[in-house]
Amino acid sequence: MGSSVSVVRIVVAQPGILRERSDTAVALGHLGTDVAIDFVETAAECLCATEEGEVDLVIADHALGDEVFEILAAHRSSGPPVVIVARRNGEEAALDAFRRGAADCIQVGPDYADVLPVVALEQVRRWRQVRERGASERRIRELQRYNENIIQNMNSALGVVDSAGRVTSANPRAEEILGVSPGALLGREANSWLRADESGESLISRTLQGGLRFTGAETALTHKSGRIVPVGMSCSPLLDGDGSQFGAVAIFQDLTEVKLLESQVLQSEKMASIGELAAGVAHEINNPMGFIHANLQQMSEYMNDLRSVWKKTLELQEAAESGDPDYLKQAVKSLRELSSELDIEFVYSDFSKALRESQEGSERIRHIVQDLRDFSHRDTGELLFSDINQALDSTASIVWTMMKHTIVLEKEYGDIPQVRCYPMQLKQVFMNLLVNAYHAIEEKIGELGDRGEGGAIERVEIRTQRSRGGVCVSIRDTGVGIEADDLTRIFDPFFTTKKVGAGTGLGLSMSYNIIQRHGGTIHVESKRGEGSLFEVWLPEDRPDHPPDHPPDGRLRRQGAGDADG
């Protein structure tokens, strides 16, 4: 027992009339440590005392008779130890006491006062050891329960696999996400649920084989029903004391709803930009509709003219067949007069011209509608090798409908490889950038006031070129430009410099996310009053997975920070 140990508490159950009682007190006074002694005379009092607090030892005098048995019974299972004080020739009683759970037995005799402290001290030391061990075991059990509680109840799924990739532990959330019954995952191959990504390996396999760590990597699981569940997964190797790997732990979350929301936001942002384009598109459709509609009315008039000439022609035929020269002469004259009156030469040639123009007009409308439909499509969620020039051009032609009256659009499409991408999402990015370019120019024109004759000198340049194992798309405008202070924030969600209601503030942040998803970069340079340049770089093939640490900082939001430097 260490010296630092607190006061030793001893309960002595001994009839007060006994001479030994004072001996006991004196003897215990020699324990060599602070002692607090409670003298009691009944089992009930003794129990009261031991229940009250941390008692280290009970000394019970056999003279109390049956009360001693009661005391022994009460402390047998949970302590503290009970030492019996027996009289001479009390072997029988002592044996009985041991059977009933006494820790030790002391004979009252000449050496009573010497033996008692030794026995007491030994019992206290042992008991304290037991108690400490019990406490740390309890503490361990508590910690285990605590951890277990967290694991069982946390809203993330957790799975542990051994070095062979077999599940050794999985929490209820993991079972829930996979749709399996409790315990069903244990001993099964983790890869039977995990989808291999582009590299042909699952994240867990890669962690097991390469000791790689992943944080928040996007992958997918197969639900029991066969449904694919998108998940965000963090995966780390499990290492033992020597640092050798004996398994892996994976924490994952169901991203189904997140994905759904994301696609809804994406779609509504897209629809918002279509709304913004609506006036321009309507104008672009109304022009051809205008002349098609008018031409149709005119063509039906032409048709009437031709029909009446045809009637005259039939009369002429009749006259010719009748063999009557006067009738024939009359019919020829009448046909000639009508033809000249209706200007049938003109009608004939203008009819085909009107038809041709109308066909061209309807073709134009078809194109616009096609572009719009292409643009409003939801992505299939599949990565496709796509022609970026085409995606950019069809998007530009929609935006062009609203900017053509004020802006010169210059296109320079390079000879670029196809890019593995989500084409609809990229179109959304191009749309955002082009609409922003348009707004920047509109704002500049608004600031300058509409002066100048035919002053369509404002320009938007779009350019594509091969670059660093991928494709670079640049969109430059001569608009108002961006304040240096704002440059660092333009990719933040909900940041907007537009008037309330004029922009969601999500366009660029979404564009940034989309480009990041493609493993690409978006970069901006701008000067207030001189215009802006946005450069999007896309790798030819998307990396297998979004890595933890971009190898060369590519995924960092590099543009915004350095642009004003």
Partner 1 sequence: MQMDDADPRGRSKPTLLLVDDEERILSALRRCLRREGYEILTAESVTRALQLLDERRIDLVLSDHKMPGRSGVDLLREVRRLQPNAGRLLITGWSQAVSESDLEAVGVSAVIAKPWDDAELKQCLRDALSASAR
From 291-299, 491-499, 516-524, 551-559, give the range in contact with partner 1 by CB under 8 A: 291-299
The tokens of 514 are what?
Answer: 């989309």
Q: Cβ(19)–Cβ(47) under 8 Å?
A: no
Looking at this protein, which amino acid is placed at residue 444? K
Pairing of strands 214-222, 228-239: antiparallel
CB of 421 to partner 1, least distance (A): 34
Applying CB under 8 A, does 26 fall inside the site for partner 1? no
Task: Please tell me whether residue 180 adopts helix, strand or coil conformation.
Answer: coil
Site residues for partner 1, window 140-159 (CB under 8 A)? none
Closer CB to partner 1, 350 or 461, in the complex: 350
Rounded Cα–Cα distance for residues 59 and 46 (Å)? 10
Return contacts of 282-291, CB within 8 angstroms, 24+ apart.
Answer: 283/401, 283/402, 284/364, 284/368, 284/401, 285/365, 285/368, 285/369, 288/360, 288/361, 288/362, 288/364, 288/365, 289/361, 289/365, 291/357, 291/358, 291/361
Closer CB to partner 1, 245 or 406, in the complex: 406
Task: Please tell me whether residue 527 adopts helix, strand or coil conformation.
Answer: strand
Applying CB under 8 A, does 446 fall inside the site for partner 1? no
Sheet holding 245-254, edge to edge: 167-170, 157-162, 245-254, 228-239, 214-222
Q: Cβ(403)–Cβ(441) under 8 Å?
A: yes
Selected from 168, 263, 298, 390, the binder of partner 1 by CB under 8 A is 298
Per DSSP (E only), the strands in 125-227 are 157-162, 167-170, 214-222
Closer CB to partner 1, 137 or 343, in the complex: 343
Selected from 69, 98, 291, 327, the binder of partner 1 by CB under 8 A is 291
Closer CB to partner 1, 174 or 441, in the complex: 441
Closer CB to partner 1, 212 or 282, in the complex: 282
CB of 306 to partner 1, least distance (A): 15
3-state secondary structure 444-460: HHHHHCCCCCCCCCCEE
Distances, alpha carbon 198 to alpha carbons 146, 259, 371, in Å: 39, 19, 31
From 41-49, 312-320, 386-394, 400-408, give the range in contact with partner 1 by CB under 8 A: 400-408
Sheet holding 35-40, edge to edge: 35-40, 8-13, 57-61, 82-86, 104-107
The tokens of 25 are what?
Answer: 């007190």
Site residues for partner 1, window 309-348 (CB under 8 A)? 343, 346
CB of 372 to partner 1, least distance (A): 16
Closer CB to partner 1, 138 or 283, in the complex: 283
Applying CB under 8 A, does 366 fall inside the site for partner 1? no
Rounded Cα–Cα distance for residues 178 and 193 (Å)? 8
Selected from 293, 311, 466, 556, the binder of partner 1 by CB under 8 A is 293
Binding mask 448-477 for partner 1 (x = CB under 8 A): --x--xxxx---------------------
CB of 453 to partner 1, least distance (A): 7
Closer CB to partner 1, 274 or 289, in the complex: 289
Total residues binding partner 1 (CB under 8 A): 33
Selected from 7, 44, 271, 294, the binder of partner 1 by CB under 8 A is 294
Residues that bind partner 1 (CB under 8 A): 279, 282-295, 297-298, 343, 346, 350, 353-354, 357, 360-361, 404-406, 450, 453-456
